[in-house]
Structure 1
Amino acid sequence: MAGGTGPARKRTRAHGRDETEEERADRLWAELLQELRVAQTGVQILFGFLLTVVFQQRFVELSTTDRNIYVVTVVLGAATTGALIGPVSFHRLLTGRRLKPQTVQWASRLTVLGLVLLLCTMAAALLLILRVATDDTWAVWLVAGIVVWFVVCWFVLPAWTLHSEATGPPPEK
């Protein structure tokens, strides 16, 4: 319906942009794809590395606890990969059905879930590596510190920015 007046054709000035709901969805989708490219590359490298660990000679020397941590880490890595590749599948299966805004919303949710799973994967991988490289006490504290750092960088700073923008001074008249 080119030139129609339905909800998708209605122009809005949300967030300082003059765009339709569909144009906004297209822009947000393009931005999300760029973000996913960065995250997927790191996850694929980490997951590929994790898959090779079991074939190393020293793997048989790991304690039962370390082997269990390894299994959890590999499962988390697989779940992370699924969540971060999920938006591509979501988009592909819904393309042409006029559901772009909903697709972007669900893809964004999958991406946030992927980031949470990536945080867990990184923590588990670090725990395994640091348990082998140091004593157990140091490993736990180092991993806890890194998890806090990731949470601050990935979630707290964006939330703080949103909060400060929402509660900032009123615009001048």
Structure 2
Amino acid sequence: MSTPRPDAEDDDAPPPGAGDNERLGRTETTDERMDRNFVDLLQELRVLQTGTQILAGFLLTLPFQARFADLGAYQRGLFLVAVCLAVATTAVLVAPVSAHRVLFRHHLKEQLVLVSHRLTRVGLVLMGLTMATVLCLVVSIVVGDVAGVVAALVAVALFGGVWGAVPYAVRRAAGGRS
């Protein structure tokens, strides 16, 4: 009998004790918890994957638009960074599905949940950077380069706040693991 592991949304540190299930009001085995964690993670990934794939697809069509030729070197550079980030984000956020296919029926669900959890965290950072870069590009075209950089910095702060600082503050206030 193995000791329980933390939920996918917890840090990767081991739980403080075997009474974790009781503390959380759950009576499930480690296998049941890993199955639940992976299903929860896949639900989150469905939202992220769809948005990222649509954004990447849209960006890939822009060079074929008539006004694309009017972009300056700086804006073309931003565009290339945005495309590269969107492709990287898509690769990282789809990786848990690929990992599941490779690890399917190998009795490695705990490892699958852990690696998928880590990939999703990296994917969220990449998604925020992608969105900030796209915003920088759009604002740069509409208003100017300086305004684009300011908008991107505000977006990075916003994503960092609502995707990172707020959840960690809630967890800390609830007495969760640090």
- Segments of 4+ in structure 1 off by > 2 A? 6-16
Q: Which residue of 161, 166, 170 maps to 2:170?
A: 161
Question: Alpha-carbon deviation of 1:120?
Answer: 0.7
Question: Alpha-carbon deviation of 1:137?
Answer: 2.1
Structure 2: gaps (5+ residues): 5-17
The answer for the alignment partner of 1:67 in structure 2 is 76
Q: Kindly provide the amino acid, as one letter, of the partner of residue 19 in structure 1.
A: E
Q: 1:81 to 1:67 in 2, by over 3 A?
A: same
The answer for the alignment partner of 1:123 in structure 2 is 132
Q: Which residue of 2, 6, 9 maps to 1:7?
A: 2
Q: Deviations over 1:76-114 (max 9, x none)?
A: 000000010000011110011111011001001101100
TM-score, structure 2 normalization = 0.85
Secondary structure of 1:31's aligned partner? helix
Q: Tell me the distance in 1 between the aligned counterparts of 2:164 and 2:123.
A: 13
Secondary structure of 1:166's aligned partner? coil
Q: Tell me the distance in 1 between the aligned counterparts of 2:114 and 2:149.
A: 36
Contact kept, 8 Å, 1:13 with 1:19, in 2: the verdict is no
Q: Tell me the distance in 2 between the aligned counterparts of 1:166 and 1:8.
A: 21
Secondary structure of 1:19's aligned partner? coil
Secondary structure of 1:89's aligned partner? helix
RMSD: 1.9
Question: Alpha-carbon deviation of 1:166?
Answer: 1.6
Question: Alpha-carbon deviation of 1:153?
Answer: 1.1
Q: Deviations over 1:19-59 (max 9, x none)?
A: 11100000001100110011111111111110011111111
Q: Kindly provide the amino acid, as one letter, of the partner of residue 7 in structure 1.
A: S
TM-score, structure 1 normalization = 0.88
Structural mapping, 1:1-173, within 5 Å: 6-7=1-2, 12-13=21-22, 15-166=24-175
Larger Rg: 1
Structure 1: gaps (5+ residues): 1-5, 168-173
Q: Tell me the distance in 2 between the aligned counterparts of 1:112 and 1:106.
A: 10
